[in-house]
Structure 1
């Protein structure tokens, strides 16, 4: 069954280990409940990253001009992790150029 499904193995391990977890009433969490919970958590995390991305993009436009982001910088923003976005958001406070924000 699992050979034909495209499911992240970490998600499957979490589901298997959580099958015996109980909710607040002491009932066993069903597989459907667990999948919904995983989906909500993943959706929330993705939403937080998208929010950080949007804020940083607005900050960069305000600080350095709306058309300052070249294709390379836009790609870096889109593919950045939450931690990387946070680092850049901190750097923008002291940066004198946009390159200062994105330096390695």
Structure 2
């Protein structure tokens, strides 16, 4: 994605989700996640980026503490890492609830 597109999406209140489980399952996806996350976090400075497990299996689920530690590995240190698994997902859900349903 281009920097201009990312910043435009953020200015409209969009959120980016980084999913952990696919990276756990496959080495190729792991490399892609790390590369894409680095570029995304550089442009967004961690703003409106949320982390999720995207688990298909209960064993792939991670605690919020584990996810915050993973956020630090990606470059979201301190408060930004904690927000990426608490406040940002909450704000994304709030924004989704306020949107008009399709066809309304």
Fold agreement, TM-score > 0.5 = no
Taking structure 1 as the reference length, the TM-score comes to 0.28
User: Higher helix fraction: Structure 1 or Structure 2?
Assistant: 1
Rg larger for: 1
